[in-house]
Chain A
Amino acid sequence: MAYKSEGSNLVPVPSNAVIPERDINDMPALECKNLGITFGGLHAVENFNLTIGRTEIAGLIGPNGAGKTTVFNLLTNVYQPTTGTILLNGMDTHGMSTAQVSKAGIGRTFQNIRLFNNLTVEENIMVAMDKSIKCGLFAGLLRLPSYFREEKKAHKRALELLHIFDMENVANHRAGSLPYGAQRRVEIVRALATDPKVLLLDEPAAGMNPSETADLMANIRKIRDTFQIAVVLIEHDMNLVMNVCEGLCVLNFGRIIAKGSPAEIQKNPTVIEAYLGKSHSTKAHEAVNEVVEENSDTGSDNK
């Protein structure tokens, strides 16, 4: 139960049962403790506590400017946190570089797509496999057998990964020349190529059409099932979030205002107010509105 009756008022209680049951006995993939960062005087993220199960699909939602992307930048050490700790598989990532964090097991995509535009799709993915290609500078320059062996292996792996989205046919296309939706998918494949334990997706459905979004939903589940990894996604498409995520965390003004299952979040008055009270994002606002209305028909025991 995420709500406790206190007199006649319903008070939200931070739910601890966010982790899916199957993950509860394992060490969490990712743990944030009291994470915070300040830009000038602005507390972009404050007192951020979150635990992600090993095979969980979690959603991070909230109005624009809430600090969602900043959380991703903290997790990948693009920014150094002002306070708090991040544990990746129980290991403190403090002081690591972004590249080291990637090697330690966090893969990510970006809200504004960041592909290597002048490289082919396949090369984009092979760059991300850098740590697993065992071929030194001189082996490459002199074209030693190890060069050909490793390139062939990487090529095969890249095509395997592209197969997730049935994109083998664009392997030799320039990444920058692909349509928007395809670029988003290549970014996901590239993040997967780093062999992550946790995959962070920053608005993966932004700019996609409804059929692409439906595909993406199925594929996010498929990715989790195939690779047995945790996925954290930031998304404004409420339909996607409510359908795919097992646990949700809602941010507003850099603070967590609610945590829980999608069903719990839909009913949470604080969340509804955050979206409705100040209409930061009309899209999210309408979506939540809809979901809330739908839900009020089925009736809820909390009301």
Chain B
Amino acid sequence: MKRKNTNKYVSFALVIAAYAIMMILTASGKITRSMQGMLVPICAYIVMAISLNLTVGILGELSLGHAGFMSMGAFTGTCAALMMTESVPDEGLRLGISMVIGAIFGGIAGFLIGIPVLRLKGDYLAIVTLAFGEIIKSIFNNLYVGFDKYGLNFQLLSEKGIKLEEGGRMLIQGAMGISKIKKISTFTAGFILIILTLFIVYHLVESRYGRAIMAIRDNRIAAESVGVDVTKYKMTAFVISAALAGAAGTLFAMNYSTITANKFDFNTSILILVLVVLGGLGNITGSIISATLLTILPEALRGFATYRMLVYAIVLIVVMLFTNASGTKMLISNIKAKLGGNKEEEEQ
């Protein structure tokens, strides 16, 4: 118990210190433009990594489509923000509401996936989330949405059917995604989202819900035998994880003037999974560190074109050693158990 609490304070201290330092550097003009541009994506990836860690490290289920929830949040949140351009002039408030909407849609997607999959005993979540990521990408790539004073106008495959009144605008234009987004995401908003995420995840873990969720991860059969309602707790963890990813998606999208569905593909899902594994399964502080380092790194290594991949590899190894090595072991044993079927499960 002691160990966990210190970890929690380290996470908060780290995030607050980093925020303070960056704000000071920005104010004194000592920060490069490229670094400035990376602040919001770093925040988004930190939230993505923490939320995926909730599913993979704390609940112990493999998800291969976390970018799908991010995409869900990005498109719904951004649409909401565009629709509120006039009604909510305050940008901070508009962003906040949009992120809540992104979170709600992310959560709904998580819930819909969870209903069939989380009831099953076995590792179907990986396959279904993988498919979900691809499906959501195809949907947004082929979805056309317009908006005017009469409301929303949906069309699949082409925008021909959409007739907009005067003053209306197209929101989603198929593979072109959403363009002409007013960039209202700020580093401060990202910081607040991270702090909120940390509160939610740590408070969850330290409550009755978190204990039950981790108990299911450690031994599902034993958890059932002491009266834990496995489906309910799995669902809780998975929906919270998806909702946080949705909020992060909104934050991420509103940092660019254009956003397309292809940004949230399988590679992005895997990248986030890599962040979680490197940071250590169940280790939130580790997720924060690895998300920060691995987002900055490719940019920072531009100067060392020749040695880029070498340095990248070394950093990966260092991060791995630095963060929870036992977490990695757990993943390996998990994968082994999965490959070996449910033999262990059958034996009582």
Contacts and interface: CB of A to CB of B under 8 A. Distances in A.
Given A114-B219, A135-B208, A140-B209, A98 B214 contact: no
Interface of B: 1-2, 199-200, 203-204, 206-212, 214-215, 217-219, 221-230, 236, 282, 347-348
Contacts of B217: 118
A127 B224 contact: no
A140 B227 contact: no
A110 B348 contact: yes
Interface residues of A, number: 47
B1 A76 contact: no
A202 B2 contact: no
Contacts of B225: 76, 78, 98, 102, 107-108, 110, 114, 191
A42 interface: no
From B207, B225, B347, residue with most partner A Cβ within 10 Å:
B225
B1 A137 contact: no
Contact of B218 (A117, A142, A193): A117
Given A137-B209, A141-B200, A193 B347 contact: no
Contacts of B348: 69, 72-73, 78, 110-112, 202
A98 B223 CA distance: 9
Interface string A85-105: 000000000000111101100
27 contacts: A72-B348, A97-B224, A98-B224, A99-B228, A102-B224, A102-B225, A114-B219, A114-B221, A115-B219, A116-B219, A118-B214, A118-B217, A119-B214, A126-B208, A126-B211, A127-B215, A127-B226, A130-B211, A130-B227, A140-B203, A140-B206, A140-B208, A141-B207, A150-B208, A172-B1, A193-B226, A194-B226
B226 A190 contact: yes
A235 interface: no
A76 B348 CA distance: 12
Nearest to A117: B218
B207 A128 contact: no
Nearest to A72: B348
A143 interface: yes
A143 B199 CA distance: 10
Given A99-B228, A133-B208, 5 more contacts: A100-B227, A108-B225, A110-B221, A119-B214, A137-B209
A119 B207 contact: no
A128 B226 contact: yes
Contacts of B347: 112
